[in-house]
Structure 1
Amino acid sequence: MDIHRFFPPHEGISLSDLSGLCGAELADPSQVDRKVTGIGSLSQAGEGEVTFAVSAKNLPDLAKCRAAAVFVTEKMAEHVPSDVAALIVAAPQSAFARAAAILVPDALKPLSFTSDTGISGAATIDPSARLEDGVVVEANAVIAAGVEIGAGSVIAAGAAIGPGTRIGRDCHIGHAATVQHALLGNNVVIHPGARIGQDGFGYVPGPRGLEKVPQIGRVIIQDQVEIGSGTTIDRGALDDTVIGEGTKIDNLVQIAHNVRIGRHCVIVAQVGIAGSATLGNGVMIGGAAGINGHVTIGDGAQIAALSGVAGDVPPGVRWGGQPARPMRGFLQDAAAANARAFGKKERKRGGED
Structure 2
Amino acid sequence: MQEETSTSLSAAEIAQMLSAPVHGDPDRRVRNVASLSSAKSDDLAFYSGNRRGVHPNQSRAGLILCQETQRHQMPTTATVICVEQPQAAFIDIAERLRPRRPIYAGIDPSARIDPSARLAPGVIVGPLSVIGPGCELADGVEIGPGCILGRDVSIGASTRLIARVTILDDCRVGRGCVIQPGAVIGSDGFGLVMQAGRWRRVPQLGRVVIGDDVDIGANTTIDRGALDDTRIDNGAKLDNLIQIAHNVEIGEHSAIAGCAGLAGSSIVGKYCTLGGGVGLAGHLTLTDGVHVTGMSMVTRSIHKPGVYSAGTPLDTNERWLKNAARFKQLDRMALRLQALESSHPTPPPLSDEENP
**Partners of 1:59 and 1:79 within 8 A in 2:** no
Return the alpha-carbon distance in structure 1 between the equivalents of residues 177 and 50 of structure 2.
37
2:30 alignment counterpart? 36
Code of the residue aligned with 2:8 in structure 1: it is: G
SS at match of 2:96: helix
Return the alpha-carbon distance in structure 1 between the equivalents of residues 16 and 295 of structure 2.
40
1:149 alignment counterpart? 137
Code of the residue aligned with 1:341 in structure 2: it is: R
Code of the residue aligned with 2:15 in structure 1: it is: S
1:18 alignment counterpart? 14
Q: 1:142 to 1:59 in 2, by over 3 A?
A: closer
Provide TM-score, normalisation by structure 1: 0.85
Return the alpha-carbon distance in structure 2 between the equivalents of residues 226 and 60 of structure 1.
30
- Report the Cα offset of residue 60 of structure 1: 5.4
Provide TM-score, normalisation by structure 2: 0.84
1:96 aligns with 2:85: no
Task: For 1:124-143, list aligned pairs within 5 A.
Answer: 124-143=112-131
Return the alpha-carbon distance in structure 2 between the equivalents of residues 163 and 258 of structure 1.
20
Q: 1:312 to 1:24 in 2, by over 3 A?
A: farther
Task: For 1:100-179, list aligned pairs within 5 A.
Answer: 100-106=94-100, 112=103, 116-179=104-167
**Partners of 2:4 and 2:99 within 8 A in 1:** no
**Partners of 2:67 and 2:83 within 8 A in 1:** yes
Return the alpha-carbon distance in structure 1 between the equivalents of residues 154 and 94 of structure 2.
32
Task: For 1:1-353, list aligned pairs within 5 A.
Answer: 7-8=4-5, 10-28=6-24, 31-56=25-50, 61-106=55-100, 112=103, 116-180=104-168, 181-322=170-311, 341=319
Return the alpha-carbon distance in structure 2 between the equivalents of residues 198 and 22 of structure 1.
44
- Report the Cα offset of residue 136 of structure 1: 1.0
Return the alpha-carbon distance in structure 2 between the equivalents of residues 57 and 311 of structure 1.
33
Code of the residue aligned with 2:152 in structure 1: it is: G
Code of the residue aligned with 1:207 in structure 2: it is: A
- Bigger radius of gyration among the two: 2
Return the alpha-carbon distance in structure 2 between the equivalents of residues 92 and 289 of structure 1.
30
After superposition, the C-alpha distances for 1:94-114 in whole angstroms (9 at most, x for unaligned) are 22222222222329xxx64xx
Task: Tell me the number of residue pairs that the alignment of Structure 1 and Structure 2 aligns.
Answer: 319
SS at match of 2:187: coil
SS at match of 2:100: helix
- Report the Cα offset of residue 23 of structure 1: 4.8
Q: Which runs of 5 or more structure 2 residues have no equivalent in the other structure?
A: 324-356
Q: Which runs of 5 or more structure 1 residues have no equivalent in the other structure?
A: 1-5, 323-332, 346-353
- Report the Cα offset of residue 38 of structure 1: 0.8
Return the alpha-carbon distance in structure 1 between the equivalents of residues 172 and 292 of structure 2.
28
Return the alpha-carbon distance in structure 1 between the equivalents of residues 56 and 250 of structure 2.
40
- Report the Cα offset of residue 56 of structure 1: 4.7
1:328 alignment counterpart? none
SS at match of 2:139: coil
Return the alpha-carbon distance in structure 1 between the equivalents of residues 146 and 302 of structure 2.
40
- Report the Cα offset of residue 27 of structure 1: 2.5
Q: 1:169 to 1:252 in 2, by over 3 A?
A: same
**Partners of 1:24 and 1:95 within 8 A in 2:** no
Code of the residue aligned with 2:153 in structure 1: it is: T
Code of the residue aligned with 1:236 in structure 2: it is: G
Code of the residue aligned with 2:182 in structure 1: it is: G
